[in-house]
Chains A and B, each alone.
Chain A
């Protein structure tokens, strides 16, 4: 504690002591302010206090009027107050149409929030959150509940992408270039670029380009993909502080900027590091081209950390922290890492074919309410539910009180 601070504290203590003394002196006299009696609403009942008062003994303490039980509803006017937020989340567009230098039939714009998620009583959300569906460039180990939905297409990335757009209504396709992992197939950057070109041909929605996680390899792959997809505004997922340690972050950022691609800035549940990474990116990438991934943990395996970091990030952004005023993405497919999503747990918990997608849905829903703008998802039922929920949360005024008024005695 600094000297000055200490003196302030001491002064505060003295002052408080003094006030305490005054308080004691004034004890017994309570002044009632702002008390309005609506006599028409009161029914006077005989009260034990009444005789005392009638005898004309002036009470030392000015007592509140005797409690009288109301016989009609006492109105308590209320208008929810709308808070003003000095900050706004930046808007970011994924994909670009022909006129914009790309070849997409549809683009999506996310972000722009001016109040916490779905506080419709304050402000209508600027853009609805969107769903990106995951596809892979090779056969991967998938939970049974998902596998049965993608088995027919999982040897053909483009066909897989087309299916999730046509059948599942994916707003965005997230292509994971897992085969580029040096520890898996170590596929070359140019092979990855070829895959992306095929997917760009097959679908007309925006793409997310998912790397393998190896900083140097991802840098090479992103460089090549950014070049072949010039102008398409594909999201490079993801750029990390590890890339900085590996000495490739600046190059990746420059490449992204050169070819007009937005980047996904990934950090592990740490807002200071998220800000640090963003600052590094600002050196090369336009600030409007940065999306954040603050880490998504599964329901049961740390979802509360993700929930809270998203609430904190969004509130900080709205309160004016410019380095956090970016839309956010959540890899909700991570829900399937929870054993409760994929394991057989015994007869009372089955069927896991429902439990699994519900697990993914609840993970996503919880983060939807914390302000996430883009979701990476995998199971068709979870995707369908989330699309419906986003639609529901964007509107207000659909509640039908008469429908639930007598739920108490409903036979269900």
Chain B
């Protein structure tokens, strides 16, 4: 194998490439009408190779392997942890998300150290178990999803095998989250690996000084291995080659994360590595990348808020520039929330439409006196309102106006949502035949359209309708209805 074996990129992979390696019997066992249809789904990553059961038979072994190779992503998928608590990183098929979609959202890991007391002995002392609880307990409701953190990184600040072993033991008992063990000393690492046996942690890290011992540990304990060569990607690549030749299969690459003035080098290193793997089929760089925004905290003289701010900047930079796993320190809600949401955003499938279908939507079991609200058909706007309404419970009608997939504020400013459009949407929804009241609640962001809308409704044949100005944010709907619904007769 040459070092830079060029793989066919996802964009140029055609169904025919996959079809040639299928049994071509059109047996329909996979549920598709024929092998060509199955092949199309294969290259579109909508089905797995193993769904073709005949291909698993001995006679097709060769083709099966070739097909697997054909469909292998340029960035190897690496599993950390075991069973249902495992996290998969890497497995990326493309460099830019618009070329296909990004697989395996970047895993967010947070650090604990082996010198933390299990429980705090005095006021304000941060204890290991409290911190784990905090990492596990992070949770944010966002458009109907529950955003969580992913992993725990245990750092040995003691450099003492016994201390590390004991801390890892405590963590293993306290949580099922996947782990990263961090020490550059092989003796310390082995002590940790013993305590985490069966958990398949990521070993952090092999360096120019310890690579052989760390490689032995990775092989002996069957764990993925991070490779650390700060700001030296040429050496990182040599180290990767050496470790692969040594027999280690699952690598995670770390060219170093430098906050502040070094952030530019960091971005360039990550970009060079990812491009070499995705564009040139560079197998030695075809591994997940690990970023360590936690290094922002090495500037100890600055305030904690400033350090956490810088850490978030480094994390956000690496979320859009190719990191597959990040190790961070700050657990402030204000600093973690943007990271968690940016991760969710960047890993949203870009093939998903920006808008939802306009029309009349019902929540709960609305009757003829249920509140009638209006929003726009921008997907994010709709899902935010939907998730809030579901959270409150209760029965509502919601008219989704066609604003060509633009949010309320922008739609009002850009005239995608006008009084005329609102009146038209109300009329077309047929809601007038379903309810007895004549009250329409419009978003607070569209307040300035309210007067004109009443006139437009009248011209559209809906006389006597009232427009109520709702809250600016749908999180305020429950409170709004409590105060204003049902509307007073004279209103």
A residues with a Cβ closer than 8 A to B are: 9, 12-13, 16-17, 20, 27, 34, 67, 69-78, 80-81, 83, 118-121, 181, 183-184, 212-215, 240, 242, 266, 268-269, 295, 297, 299-305, 307-308, 311-312, 315, 334, 337, 339-340, 343, 345, 348-352, 354-355, 358-359, 361-362, 365-366, 369-370, 385, 389, 392-401, 403-412
Contact = CB atoms under 8 A, between A and B. Distances in A.
Given A213-B415, A354-B334, A397 B263 contact: no
Contacts of B16: 9, 12-13, 16
Contact of A268 (B294, B316, B404): B404
A299 B380 contact: no
Contacts of B237: 76, 78
B149 to A, nearest CB: 13
B407 interface: yes
Contacts of A71: 212
Interface of B: 2-3, 16, 19-20, 62, 96-98, 113, 115, 142, 155-159, 182-184, 204-205, 208, 211-212, 230-235, 237-242, 245-247, 256-258, 260-268, 271-272, 275-276, 279-280, 284, 292, 294-295, 297-298, 300, 305, 309, 312-313, 316-317, 320-321, 329, 333-335, 337-338, 341-342, 345-346, 348, 350, 354, 378-381, 384, 404-407, 409-410, 412-416, 448-449, 452, 473, 475
Given A16-B20, A412-B329, A359 B338 contact: yes
Contact of B264 (A13, A16, A392): A392
Closest 8 CB pairs of A and B: A399-B262, A399-B265, A398-B261, A349-B333, A401-B230, A355-B334, A76-B241, A304-B345
Given A297-B407, A303-B342, A408-B156, A366 B265 contact: no
B334 A17 contact: no
Nearest to A311: B96
Contacts of B62: 27
B178 to A, nearest CB: 18
Contact of B414 (A268, A297, A405, A410): A268
A185 to B, nearest CB: 11
A399 B449 contact: no
18 contacts: A73-B211, A73-B235, A120-B264, A121-B268, A184-B448, A215-B415, A266-B414, A301-B407, A312-B96, A345-B333, A351-B334, A366-B320, A394-B264, A395-B261, A396-B265, A397-B265, A405-B230, A411-B115
A358 B334 contact: yes
A78 B234 contact: yes
A337 B354 CA distance: 17
A79 to B, nearest CB: 8
Contacts of A78: 233-234, 237, 276
A66 B26 CA distance: 42
A304 B245 contact: no
Nearest to A346: B333
Given A339-B473, A361-B313, A297 B265 contact: no
B193 to A, nearest CB: 15
B313 A393 contact: no
Given A80-B276, A300-B345, A398-B261, A370 B320 contact: yes
B342 A393 contact: no
Contacts of B3: 76
Q: Is the interface of B mostly helix, strand, loop or mixed?
A: helix
B66 to A, nearest CB: 9
Nearest to A211: B413
A183 B449 contact: yes
Nearest to A365: B316
B292 to A, nearest CB: 6
Which of A70, A350, A359, A405 is packed against the most chain B CB atoms within 10 Å? A70
Contacts of B342: 299, 303, 362, 366
A354 B305 contact: yes
A250 B245 CA distance: 66
Contacts of A307: 97, 320, 345-346
Contacts of B317: 365, 369
Contact of B321 (A349, A369, A389): A369
Residue of B235, B245, B448 most packed against chain A (CB within 10 A): B245
Contact of B256 (A69, A345, A404): A404
Contacts of A70: 242, 245-246
A118 B268 contact: yes
Most buried by B among A183, A304, A340, A366: A304
Contact of B258 (A269, A370, A385, A399): A399
B182 A240 contact: no
B266 to A, nearest CB: 7
B284 A76 contact: yes
B298 A358 contact: no
B316 A362 contact: yes
Contacts of B271: 119, 121
A376 to B, nearest CB: 13
Contacts of A389: 263, 313
Contacts of A297: 380, 407
Contacts of B233: 78, 80
